Structure 1
Amino acid sequence: MMAYLNSYLSKLIAGDLAAFGGPTTDEAVAGYIRAEQLSLVLGHSLAIMLANACNATVLAIALWHSPDRNFALVWAVTVVCGALSIGLKARSSRRMTKPQFVSRQAMHRLVRNALVLGTAWAIVPVAFFANASNGGQLVITCLCSGMLAGGAFAFATIPVAAVAFTAPIFVGTAICLGRNGDFVYLLVAILVVAYGFVLLHGVFAHSFEFTRRTIAQLEAERRGRRDPLTQLPNRFAFNESLEGALNRLARSGEEFALLLLDLDRFKEVNDRFGHPAGDEFLVQAASRLQRCVRQIDTVARIGGDEFALVMTNLTKLEDALEVAERFVGAFAEPFPIEKCEIAGATSVGIAVAPRDGDVPHELLRNADIALYRAKQAGPGTIRFFETSDDESARERRALLRDLELAVDRDELFLLYQPFFDIRKNRVTGFEALLRWRHPVRGVISPTEFIPIAEETGLIHGIGEWVVRRACSTLSNWPSDLRVAVNFSAAQFHNASILQTIVQALSQARVAPHRLEIEITESMLISKYAPASSILNSLLQLGVTVALDDFGTGYSSLTYLLKLPYTRIKIDQSFIRDMLRRPDSAAIVKSIIALTRDLQIGVVAEGVETAEQLDYLRQTNCDEVQGYLVGRPVAADHVFALLDQNKQWSTSAA
């Protein structure tokens, strides 16, 4: 009971209005309201303290001829010195950044100071009124009334402080006027009391309205800083948190870590189950992530599937690593969505301040670089920023800038590697291989620049250029040859991909069956639904479709049954080992037999020796591709290669 009473009194003295019928708030909101109240009081404090000093001086002058002159002088000097000291401190506090939270103890001190100052003014009527002249009594009455009004104004948003200040003055004034015995003074005393009740009623009414308005403002600000889907802080709130951590770093040297992470399978969930399922995935992921951090830390959602954490008061790097590991571990259990269990994963990049930067954009950039390296290493990977990362990132950005201009500068070009039909002993087509001739670095492999193009969206423009150039070149070849063009997963998310292919064929006046689209089965893992519809549209158009690098993916047989293909290409890793390893030979034989039963063409990649070619001929493989048949050549060397192949085919026959 005593503990409850102490808690109640503590809240009451701290300005809690619930006891008076005001709105009920939790401690976090109450601390924010106290901060607003204290800010207003500090804003008026200097002016009010100057008024106190002036009033005390006036009183000393009015009582100069009173028998209580010396006491009045001592009292006036004490009040003037105290008021000026309080006013100057308030002015200094006002210049500091307004806090977002003020404790109960700070409000207790304010109420105590208000009580002390009110008591000081309550001494005036009690000690000086009886011996003062009529003019002095009038001055005392006016000053006390003025202090009542001034106190009510100063503490208009804090009723308990207003009561602490005005109550002693009310009591002192009423006592001195009432004990005088004069009926007129008794009426004045009654008026003062009535005046006091009116003032306090106004204080409470104003305070209630102020509190409600502050709560509404706080809720609006919270909504503005809150992600509406996950209810986590948004990017705006995250930026404030980051700025606050940097300010503490500058003031006290408090180090902190910035963790960036994204969900590795979010796009797949969106593609397979729709956006409502994707939203549910984000909500569940956000809940799991929030459970991984300390109470003083908060995960923020700063983008679509991107989250961030400012981990304050960092004492050692292992603390940041431990939280990152908890983030990764939070995805160990599948997510129940749409009556399915979906596996999730996340990658984490970490930058540490001030080691990796002491300004927001630098820290964010370095954490993002670390996240990029983590994602390259695979789902569930954690990486701290390293200086070498910055160098590779600068090189990557430079490469991106150059790649943006590569098409316009005519730096991209195609090489063509032939397909050879084993039974007919003739070249049946060519695969178009993209290359980039950089003006400084020379020829750059597609394995180096295609990932950058896919991540930045440049792949769409580059892919369109490849299709158009390949079809244009094909138009100059014999009509029994085809050209195969590789497509990446990103291109299948471009709604205009079909239109691009149709236009390229039309402008080059090439029959659709002479164009072959090559895709890898690994790219279909997270893109099955959109790829299926596009591939069916391509087949209806007459374009042929090949499944590249067959056997290196995850669900080859499923895709063969559910997606339409004209032919498949056996990965060169099996061809390279088939004469040395019985298991590779068995796989090659099985794939060829399977394709014959499914009535799908088959191409063996990476044929480099005559022995490999003979073996594939015996196993009834349809076509081969490799250095034995021909290396990639420029378009103007294709006819020479065809002539050479005719001679080779004649001698082989």
Structure 2
Amino acid sequence: MRTYLSSYLSKLFAGDLAAFGGPATDEAVAGYIRAEQISLVLGYSLGIMLANACNATVLVIALWYSSNRNYALIWAAAVVCGALSIGLKARLSRRITKPQFVSRQAMHRLVRNALVLGTAWAVVPVAFFAEASNGGQLVITCLCSGMLAGGAFAFATIPVAAVAFTAPIFVGTAICLGRNGDFVYLLVAILVVAYGFVLLRGVFAHSFEFTKRTIAQLEAERRVRRDPLTQLPNRFAFNESLEAALNRLARSGEEFAVFLLDLDRFKDVNDKFGHPAGDEFLIQAAARLQRCARETDTVARIGGDEFALIVTNLAKVEDALEIAERFIGAFGEPFLIERCEIAGATSVGIVLAPRDGNTPHELLKNADLALYRAKTAGPGTVRFFEVSDDKSARDRRALQRDLEKAVGRDELFLVYQPFFDIRENRVTGFEALLRWQHPVRGVISPAEFIPIAEETGLIHPIGEWVVRRACSTLSNWPSDLRVAVNFSAAQFHNTSILQTIVQALAQARVAPSRLEIEITESMLISKYGPASSILNSLLELGVTVALDDFGTGFSSLTYLLKLPYTRIKIDQSFIRDMLTRPDSAAVVKSIIGLAQDLHIGVVAEGVETTEQLECLRQTSCDEVQGYLIGRPVSADRIFALLDQNRQWTTPAA
């Protein structure tokens, strides 16, 4: 019984709303809610503490000619010093990255501090009211009422802290007013108590709503961060963990390693036994990786048969090799799939931070190069990143030299892939896609040369060429069509990009609303600070902005609130599996519902079958894009595609 009571009180004073009839949560969710609650309180703390200091000063002035002046001075000095100390500590805490989990003990300290501060203000009416002048009594009543309101506001999401702060002030105020003997003061006391109950009722109502909203947001973010097949963190969650590891490295020097693992025989399993067997192979492989990983390590599925790990607290390189060999050994036993024993193997590429990079892009790029060398060496091989011995690195340098001349040689060209409005059954615009016709290697994918352009600064002249060519082509299209151009974070490092866009629109004589800028979530938290200000300037001009590859970036859902997006594009990885994976379908529906609530349009990428199209139609998706609608075409084939569109009632492959 004593243990149960102790646990109940611990939850109660940790802000658990279940004690008041609110939603019940497990400790992991409760810790996340506490983190959000304390973050809000810290945001108000400096202002509230300054108000405390000002109010204490006003009280001293009001009691300057009373017999309690010296006691008031001592009390005020204590309150001012305490308030300023708490406010400054809160300000420093706000500069630290907000934690994802806050313990009960941290909330207990907050409630205790609220009680101490409330008790300090409860002393005022009890100790000073009787000896004060009529004006002083009025000031005391007003100050106590103001502190009640301020406390309820500051702790609006934490009822137990609001009660701890306001209850002593309520009691002190009611005592001093009630014992005065004056009927008018008795009425005021009754009003103060009634006022307090109304405040606390509002606090409970607000905190219940806040908690429900936070739980819903957490569940939505968890769905987006979880791979529906293996239940491991997905690329989105892995990128966040990688950012967190780099932040720890910068703060405390904690080194770590990134492993990329590729299942060497996954394609054979898929081809021989079918996709269900391939899925089971992935599930079992994920389970083995989790068993081999330490509690502090992060295991994620970031691609079809590609897994990634963040291995922390490495004392030496040999430790990373030992862990990698443990993963290799986990695949020594055959996999039992559909009553057949299937041999499995994995190759591992390793990078060490900060030796091999200090940004997510560098680490993942170099880990991929190491993995390529491991796969080339044969199944079950481990390779560390080595620039000097890597043929891929030499190929990239040669490609860079050719890319420097590509614009001048007119080797770059654009193709256009249509957007299709499901409701109106018509093409509403095209996405401009960059291609490179290399004189020797043929057409090179932008996934291969864009990273090189970003690293070398070539992205700026290439990006300017893309914008001007897309706007020029757009000027020949019907006025109800738009063109979307992809922008990377590196392009916003050059502030002249804004002038380039304005000039391109003016020279082509097209309305800014017909140009759409597609950006990724990772751009918003990149090292290129001017991005947000430039985008806001473009929005003021009338250009629209779309958030591309939604669900695969670095950031959380809160990035939807950073800019007034016109559209979000659901990544094709979710669309591909939504008919066979209930969790993928749930993610797609959640994103569409969220976008509708925020009044943002939705484009589904990678639509390849009529079944996918009909499913998206039923979930009220706005637009689709993919091979079912049309493959990327050159500018001279746009009008032929539009003529075909006029004959469509539903799109055909």
Shorter-chain TM-score category? 0.5 to 0.7
Q: Show CA shifts across 1:529-567 (max 9, x none).
A: xxxxxxxxxxxxxxxxxxxxxxxxxxxxxxxxxxxxxxx
Taking the aligned partners of 1:397 and 1:140, their CA distance within structure 2 comes to 75
Aligned to 2:347: 347
Taking the aligned partners of 2:358 and 2:143, their CA distance within structure 1 comes to 55
Deviates more, 1:201-210 or 1:92-101: 92-101
Aligned to 2:140: 140
Larger of the two Rg values belongs to structure = 1
| 1:93 partner SS | helix
Taking the aligned partners of 2:90 and 2:229, their CA distance within structure 1 comes to 42
The answer as to 2:154 corresponding to 1:180 is: no
- Report the alpha carbon displacement of residue 332 of structure 1 after superposing the two structures with TM: 2.6
Q: Is the 8 A contact 1:369 1:389 kept in 2?
A: no
The residue type equivalent to 1:96 in the other structure is I
Aligned to 1:149: 149
Q: Is the 8 A contact 1:324 1:348 kept in 2?
A: yes
Q: Show CA shifts across 1:36-71 (max 9, x none).
A: 111111111122112212221222222222221211
Q: Is the 8 A contact 2:367 2:385 kept in 1?
A: yes
Aligned to 1:239: 239
- Report the alpha carbon displacement of residue 167 of structure 1 after superposing the two structures with TM: 0.9
Aligned to 1:335: 335
Q: Is the 8 A contact 2:49 2:84 kept in 1?
A: yes
Taking the aligned partners of 1:135 and 1:400, their CA distance within structure 2 comes to 83
Aligned to 2:197: 197
- Report the alpha carbon displacement of residue 207 of structure 1 after superposing the two structures with TM: 0.8
Q: State how 1:186-585 maps to structure 2 within 5 Å.
A: 186-390=186-390, 392-397=391-396
Aligned to 1:41: 41
| 2:393 partner SS | helix
The residue type equivalent to 2:131 in the other structure is N
Taking the aligned partners of 2:152 and 2:208, their CA distance within structure 1 comes to 14
Taking the aligned partners of 1:130 and 1:370, their CA distance within structure 2 comes to 80
Aligned to 2:80: 80
Q: Is the 8 A contact 1:15 1:160 kept in 2?
A: yes
Taking the aligned partners of 1:295 and 1:217, their CA distance within structure 2 comes to 26
The residue type equivalent to 1:253 in the other structure is G
Taking the aligned partners of 1:190 and 1:330, their CA distance within structure 2 comes to 72
Taking the aligned partners of 1:233 and 1:377, their CA distance within structure 2 comes to 29
Gap change, CA 1:403 and 1:66, over 3 Å in 2: closer
Taking the aligned partners of 1:250 and 1:37, their CA distance within structure 2 comes to 27
Taking the aligned partners of 1:374 and 1:329, their CA distance within structure 2 comes to 16
Aligned to 1:424: none
Q: Is the 8 A contact 2:126 2:172 kept in 1?
A: yes
- Report the alpha carbon displacement of residue 300 of structure 1 after superposing the two structures with TM: 0.8
Taking the aligned partners of 2:398 and 2:71, their CA distance within structure 1 comes to 85
- Report the alpha carbon displacement of residue 372 of structure 1 after superposing the two structures with TM: 1.7
Gap change, CA 1:8 and 1:321, over 3 Å in 2: farther
Taking the aligned partners of 1:88 and 1:365, their CA distance within structure 2 comes to 42
Gaps of 5+ in 2: 406-438, 449-653
Taking the aligned partners of 1:5 and 1:330, their CA distance within structure 2 comes to 46
Taking the aligned partners of 2:227 and 2:388, their CA distance within structure 1 comes to 35
| 2:292 partner SS | coil
Gaps of 5+ in 1: 406-438, 441-448, 457-653
The residue type equivalent to 1:104 in the other structure is R
- Report the alpha carbon displacement of residue 220 of structure 1 after superposing the two structures with TM: 1.4
The residue type equivalent to 1:186 in the other structure is L
Q: Is the 8 A contact 1:17 1:24 kept in 2?
A: yes
Taking the aligned partners of 2:90 and 2:213, their CA distance within structure 1 comes to 25
Q: Is the 8 A contact 2:230 2:282 kept in 1?
A: yes
Taking the aligned partners of 2:272 and 2:283, their CA distance within structure 1 comes to 18
For the aligned residue pairs, the C-alpha RMSD in angstroms reads: 2.9
Taking the aligned partners of 1:95 and 1:254, their CA distance within structure 2 comes to 20
The residue type equivalent to 2:379 in the other structure is P
Q: Show CA shifts across 1:157-193 (max 9, x none).
A: 0111111111110111111122223333233222222
Taking the aligned partners of 1:244 and 1:324, their CA distance within structure 2 comes to 22
- Report the alpha carbon displacement of residue 402 of structure 1 after superposing the two structures with TM: 11
Q: Is the 8 A contact 2:159 2:207 kept in 1?
A: yes
The residue type equivalent to 2:249 in the other structure is L
Aligned to 1:171: 171
- Report the alpha carbon displacement of residue 357 of structure 1 after superposing the two structures with TM: 2.4
Q: State how 1:48-87 maps to structure 2 within 5 Å.
A: 48-87=48-87
| 2:347 partner SS | strand
- Report the alpha carbon displacement of residue 378 of structure 1 after superposing the two structures with TM: 1.8
The residue type equivalent to 1:16 in the other structure is D
Aligned to 1:571: none
Gap change, CA 1:398 and 1:272, over 3 Å in 2: farther
Aligned to 2:117: 117
Taking the aligned partners of 2:51 and 2:366, their CA distance within structure 1 comes to 55
Taking the aligned partners of 1:401 and 1:141, their CA distance within structure 2 comes to 75
Q: Is the 8 A contact 2:241 2:298 kept in 1?
A: no
The residue type equivalent to 1:346 in the other structure is T
- Report the alpha carbon displacement of residue 307 of structure 1 after superposing the two structures with TM: 0.5
- Report the alpha carbon displacement of residue 396 of structure 1 after superposing the two structures with TM: 4.4
| 2:303 partner SS | coil
Q: Is the 8 A contact 2:387 2:393 kept in 1?
A: no
Q: Is the 8 A contact 1:297 1:309 kept in 2?
A: yes
Taking the aligned partners of 1:8 and 1:361, their CA distance within structure 2 comes to 47
Q: Is the 8 A contact 1:35 1:101 kept in 2?
A: yes
Q: Is the 8 A contact 1:170 1:193 kept in 2?
A: yes
Aligned to 1:472: none
Q: Is the 8 A contact 2:331 2:346 kept in 1?
A: yes
TM-score (norm 2): 0.59
Gap change, CA 1:118 and 1:248, over 3 Å in 2: same
Gap change, CA 1:88 and 1:399, over 3 Å in 2: closer
Taking the aligned partners of 1:401 and 1:94, their CA distance within structure 2 comes to 43
Q: Show CA shifts across 1:506-529 (max 9, x none).
A: xxxxxxxxxxxxxxxxxxxxxxxx
Q: Show CA shifts across 1:94-149 (max 9, x none).
A: 23322222222222221121111101100011001111122222221121111111
How many residue pairs get aligned? The number is 412
Taking the aligned partners of 1:166 and 1:178, their CA distance within structure 2 comes to 18
Q: Is the 8 A contact 2:156 2:206 kept in 1?
A: yes
Taking the aligned partners of 1:329 and 1:9, their CA distance within structure 2 comes to 48
Q: Is the 8 A contact 1:44 1:154 kept in 2?
A: yes
Q: Is the 8 A contact 2:299 2:308 kept in 1?
A: yes
- Report the alpha carbon displacement of residue 242 of structure 1 after superposing the two structures with TM: 1.4
- Report the alpha carbon displacement of residue 3 of structure 1 after superposing the two structures with TM: 4.1
Q: Is the 8 A contact 1:370 1:389 kept in 2?
A: no
Gap change, CA 1:152 and 1:403, over 3 Å in 2: closer
Q: Show CA shifts across 1:477-512 (max 9, x none).
A: xxxxxxxxxxxxxxxxxxxxxxxxxxxxxxxxxxxx
Taking the aligned partners of 1:103 and 1:175, their CA distance within structure 2 comes to 36
Q: Is the 8 A contact 2:14 2:108 kept in 1?
A: yes
- Report the alpha carbon displacement of residue 270 of structure 1 after superposing the two structures with TM: 1.6
Matched-pair identity in %: 84
Taking the aligned partners of 1:3 and 1:112, their CA distance within structure 2 comes to 22
| 1:389 partner SS | coil
Taking the aligned partners of 1:142 and 1:55, their CA distance within structure 2 comes to 10
Q: Is the 8 A contact 2:226 2:232 kept in 1?
A: yes
Deviates more, 1:297-306 or 1:366-375: 366-375
